[in-house]
Amino acid sequence: MLTIGGLLASDGKLAATDVPLLTLLAMGAFLPIAEMAMIGRRLGDTLGATRRLAAVHNEVPVVADGPGAAPRVPAAATADLKAVDFRYDHANRPALEGVSFDLAPGATVALVGPSGAGKTTAAHLLLRFWDPVSGALHLDGDDLRTYRLEEMRERIALVAQDTYLFNASIRENLLVAQPDASDEEIVEAIARAGLAEFVESLPEGLDTVVGERGAQLSGGQRQRVAIGRALLKDAPLLILDEATSHLDGGTERLVHEALDELMRDRTTLVIAHRLSTVRDADLIVVLDRGQIVEAGTHEELVGTPGLYAELVSHQTRAAATADAGD
């Protein structure tokens, strides 16, 4: 514009005073065009994100709501597995085979066994993350498939092997379990989960953001947040999957006290590698490669040669070696 305007003005075909004005107009006309190009780019990003969202949205859930079971009073729950077979997609062997056991009201049932035995799978089936290939699971006498999912999962609290935390504050991460909990209830849950001291040491206390997937917390702290959630949820059936595996001696004792209180009068399924934590269970179910190999109380099982007696003697020996090392 400047060059051509200059030439035209020098030829006398354009008033010299018009040249700056025309230049400004030309620049003004280009701005919206540049914006349109930017919108095009943004549209591309948005379309990409929408496609990814749609893929999640269109995914067919593996389990669906049942017609709904009769409403329950929040008393101790009963649950059972009846001849449950389960196999993960593409797995070459079943994860569970003919597994049956009962959780009586208020009882503590322990699942033990080597890694990969199917303990977590059994716990997840109780939460109906999947349905069994054959057999059935019941909660309070009703097949899990008759419940509406939300109604069913309201009655079960899970402290999982790896806890999922959202990139939000500790308070919000606890509220996931019980959205209408009061501040007092949250503070109480924090104290009972053995987290009070840690939360106090944080710059923003309960409002401290924990990072993507809780990256700013240690494994033990994440687990205690999960225990805090279970305490807040106050559900009649409790499932603990290796709840104390990441804890050190001092905090472990704190958390054990909290867990003992949580388990009192509540039906509990506890999965633990360390057998000292399952000694007091009403029933110990020993799983190996998806099958129940033994079941009974600690006294019954240590006395009979088998996997449980082996695991106990192995751990006692390991503990003795560790003590000798100290």
Ligand X SMILES: Nc1ncnc2c1ncn2[C@@H]1O[C@H](COP(=O)(O)OP(=O)(O)OP(=O)(O)O)[C@@H](O)[C@H]1O
Residue 118 or 135: the one with the smaller Cβ distance to Mg ion is 118
Residues that bind ligand X (CB under 6 A): 88, 91, 95, 113, 115-121, 161
Nearer to ligand X, 5 or 290 (CB): 290
Bridge partners, residue 103, by sequence: 79
Q: What is the DSSP letter of 107?
A: -
Residue closer to ligand X by CB (options 235, 272) is: 272
Residue 117: CB minimum distance to Mg ion, A: 8
Residue 70: CB minimum distance to ligand X, A: 31
Site track 72-111 with Mg ion (rule: CB under 5 A), x = hit? ----------------------------------------
Ordered alpha helix ranges (H), the chain: 2-10, 18-58, 119-126, 149-153, 170-175, 183-192, 196-201, 219-233, 249-263, 298-303, 307-325
Stretches 17-25, 80-88, 115-123, 280-288: which one binds Mg ion (CB under 5 A)?
115-123
Contact 213, 278 (CB under 8 A): no
Instruction: Pick between residue 111 and residue 206 the one whose CB is nearest to ligand X.
Output: 111
- Figure out which of the listed residues 69, 103, 109, 120 binds Mg ion, where binding follows CB under 5 A: 120
Output the smallest distance, CB 176 to Mg ion, in A.
22
Find all residues with CB under 8 Å of 303, minimum gap 6, and list them: 309
Return the number of the residue (163 or 178) whose C-beta is nearest ligand X: 163
**Tokens 């003697």 correspond to what residue?**
313
**Residue closer to ligand X, measured from CB, 125 or 186:** 125
- Taking the least distance from each CB to ligand X, the nearer of 142 and 162 is 162
Q: Which of 90, 100, 169, 164 is nearest to 137 (CA)?
A: 100
CA distances from 44 to 48, 53, 57, 168 (A): 6, 14, 20, 29
CB of 122 to ligand X, least distance (A): 7
Tell me how far, at minimum, the Cβ of 101 lies from ligand X, in Å.
15
Which of the choices Mg ion, ligand X, none does residue 117 contact, using the CB cut-off of 5 to 8 A by kind? ligand X
* Residue nearest to Mg ion according to CB distances in the complex: 120
- Told to check if 244 binds Mg ion by CB under 5 A, we report no
* Stretch near Mg ion under the rule CB under 5 A, chosen from 37-45, 116-124, 186-194, 304-312: 116-124
In angstroms and rounded to an integer, the radius of gyration of the C-alpha atoms of the chain is 30
Q: Report d(CA 140, CA 136) in Å as an integer.
A: 13
284: enclosing H helix or E strand? strand 283-288
Q: Which residue has the tokens 């089936």?
A: 125
Residues 6+ apart with CB under 8 A from 73: none
* 262 and 233 Cβ atoms separated by less than 8 Å: no
Q: Which does 91 bind (CB under 5 to 8 A by kind): Mg ion, ligand X, none?
A: ligand X
